[in-house]
């Protein structure tokens, strides 16, 4: 994981997401092993019903997130459901990081009113709200991107799947503080653009060419 992070930085990434839940043995010792990357990382320990890979008990996952938050990563990602179900635990996390409060729909893209409510609940609990759905049609991208009409600097919103790639890229133009990309030829999720594409588009935007 540290080697892949180094590759991403070498290609020009500002920050990396460390998916701790995808490690084979994400025990307490992982915090020390990745501490040197904390200030340039999003640390995530996603539970299975939210699309993650953590197979231990929920209390173990919460304890690991607490330990990782003590490293003061740039961001720490916590699911909206986790934050709402464990308010005392959530309030006790270290305050040295910005909190991404995330909400996912892996079945499709619900009505815009549902997305708005999820965004507002997440935004009330963290510095960044993250709303991710599955694109079943091209129109689903527009539905999700409309969320950027309000307070775009505190929102990450896009569609998963090959039909959702456009929403990932347009988030860069609409004010998203984070764009999720992959190392070349190593996508972690369907529709995830390569880092080289995102950096190239960012340069064009900064040059005022689109």
pLDDT for 93-143, tens place per residue?
A: 998 999 999 999 999 999 999 999 999 999 999 999 999 999 999 999 999
The pLDDT confidence band at residue 82, using thresholds 50, 70 and 90, is very high
pLDDT of residue 25: 79
Residue entry with tokens 């009409």: 149
Q: What structural domains and CATH numbers belong to the chain?
A: 1-73 (no CATH), 105-210 (3.20.20.70)
List 48, 130, 136, 143, catalytic entry = 130
Q: What is the rounded distance in angstroms from the CA atom of residue 132 to the CA atom of residue 103?
A: 6
- Give me Rg for the CA atoms of the chain: 16
Distances (CA, A) of 128 to 19, 49, 119: 18, 21, 9
Task: Pick left, alpha or beta for residue 127 (phi over 0 → left; psi -120 to 50 → alpha; otherwise beta).
Answer: alpha
**Model pTM score:** 0.94
DSSP 47: B
Taking residue 184's Cβ as centre, other Cβ atoms within 10 Å add up to 12
Q: What is the rounded distance in angstroms from the CA atom of residue 19 to the CA atom of residue 192?
A: 15
pLDDT digits (tens, 9 = 90+) for 37-70: 999 999 999 999 899 999 899 999 999 999 999 9
Q: Answer yes or no: 130 catalytic.
A: yes
Q: Which two tokens stand for residue 109?
A: 């893209």
List 36, 48, 104, 203, catalytic entry = 104
Overall average pLDDT of the 174-200 stretch = 92
pLDDT of residue 26: 77
State the chain's mean pLDDT as an integer: 94
Whether 209 has a pLDDT exceeding 70, the answer reads: no
Name the β-bridge partners of 183.
186
């Amino acid at each position: 994981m540290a080697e892949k992070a180094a590759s991403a930085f070498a290609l020009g990434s500002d920050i990396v997401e460390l998916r701790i839940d995808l490690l084979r043995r994400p025990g307490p010792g992982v915090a020390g092993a990745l501490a040197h990357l904390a200030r340039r990382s999003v640390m995530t320990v996603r539970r299975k019903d939210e699309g993650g890979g953590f197979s231990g008990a929920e209390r173990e996952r919460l304890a690991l997130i607490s330990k990782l938050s003590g490293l003061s990563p740039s961001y720490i990602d916590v699911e909206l459901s986790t934050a709402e179900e464990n308010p005392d635990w959530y309030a006790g996390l270290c305050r040295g990081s910005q909190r991404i409060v995330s909400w996912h729909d892996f079945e499709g893209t619900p009505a815009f009113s549902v997305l708005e409510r999820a965004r507002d609940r997440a935004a009330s609990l963290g510095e960044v709200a993250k709303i991710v759905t599955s694109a079943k049609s091209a129109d689903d991208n527009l539905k999700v991107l409309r969320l950027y009409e309000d307070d775009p600097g505190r929102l990450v919103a896009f569609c998963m799947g090959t039909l959702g790639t456009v929403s990932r890229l347009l988030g860069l133009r609409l004010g998203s503080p984070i764009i999720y990309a992959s190392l070349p030829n190593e996508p972690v999720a369907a529709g995830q653009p390569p880092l080289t594409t995102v950096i190239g588009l960012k340069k064009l935007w900064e040059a005022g060419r689109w």
